[in-house]
């Protein structure tokens, strides 16, 4: 299977199970036919979650993630938004979120259908926030859920794994978060400001994809770079 690569304004078009989608360099996915914007693994209030355990991470991650979220929501003006799980870093995150952040998030959500998909970090609806909480949701040919199913699976869009890819050239290496897809399913990069990455060459990804059709859409500065699976390095 070949995937046509078209880049527009820094974003790259992909086709997943026949649905056209746009991979935005900020790490969001937009489906023009459905007016749907998808973000995954926001991990809001991650800094505060660490602080609760005595590790004083900078308290700026929530603001940074919300800034980024506001920008993509403004740019695509979607009718509906799916937050694909792990929206908050821990169960009490939403309840303890400082009021200014709560208002900011409310403003971003206002006037759109908003779906919180439950994740392993946030198995319950976020306290005191609007939007519907579901475990998965189907749109067109696609099924959106937090954790990818164990086997190859048509039309699934998932998050959870924080995919990243690495290339090595002339003794130098570049590692970036990425959209990971074989054209049948897609795993979203983590959108949150304080989130790490897991290399797509890791075992956790092994059974998820048709590897000869695999491509990583690596997030550059203001631009997405499609890189063929065989050019990627482990580690």
Residues forming the site for other proteins (CB under 8 A): 2, 5, 48, 51-61, 63-64, 98, 166-174, 176, 193-197, 203, 218, 220-221, 223, 225-228, 231, 233-235
Distance of closest approach, residue 76 Cβ to other proteins, in angstroms: 23
Distance of closest approach, residue 91 Cβ to other proteins, in angstroms: 16
Comparison of 40 and 195: residue with beta carbon closer to other proteins? 195
Distance of closest approach, residue 1 Cβ to other proteins, in angstroms: 13
Comparison of 116 and 205: residue with beta carbon closer to other proteins? 205
Comparison of 15 and 233: residue with beta carbon closer to other proteins? 233
Comparison of 55 and 150: residue with beta carbon closer to other proteins? 55
Q: Name every residue whose Cβ is closer than 8 Å to that of residue 17 and which is 6 or more positions away in sequence.
A: 141, 142, 154, 155, 183, 184, 185
Contact 86, 123 (CB under 8 A): no
What does 8-58 look like in DSSP terms, one character per residue?
Answer: ETTEEEEEETTEEEEE-TTS-EEEGGGTEEEE----BTHHHHHHHTT----
The Cα 118–Cα 136 span in angstroms is 8
């Amino acid at each position: 299977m070949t995937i046509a690569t078209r880049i527009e304004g820094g974003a790259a078009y992909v086709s997943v199970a026949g649905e056209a989608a746009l991979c935005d360099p900020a790490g969001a996915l937009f489906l023009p036919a459905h007016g749907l914007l998808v973000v995954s693994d926001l991990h809001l209030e991650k800094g505060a979650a660490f602080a609760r355990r005595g590790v004083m991470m900078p308290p700026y991650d929530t603001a940074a993630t919300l800034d980024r979220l506001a920008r993509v929501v403004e740019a695509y003006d979607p009718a509906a938004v799916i937050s694909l799980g792990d929206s908050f870093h821990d169960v009490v995150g939403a309840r303890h979120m400082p009021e200014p952040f709560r208002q900011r998030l409310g403003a971003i959500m206002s006037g759109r259908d908003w779906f919180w998909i439950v994740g392993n970090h946030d198995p319950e609806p976020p306290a005191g926030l609007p939007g519907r909480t579901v475990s998965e949701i189907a749109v067109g040919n696609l099924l959106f859920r937090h954790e990818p199913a164990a086997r190859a699976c048509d039309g699934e869009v998932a998050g959870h794994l924080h995919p990243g890819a690495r290339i090595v050239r002339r003794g130098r290496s570049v590692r970036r978060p990425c959209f990971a897809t074989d054209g049948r399913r897609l795993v979203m990069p983590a959108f949150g400001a304080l989130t790490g990455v897991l290399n797509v060459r890791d075992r956790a990804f092994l059974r998820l994809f048709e590897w000869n059709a695999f491509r990583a859409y690596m997030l550059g500065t203001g631009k997405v770079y499609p890189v063929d699976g065989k050019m990627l390095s482990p580690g």
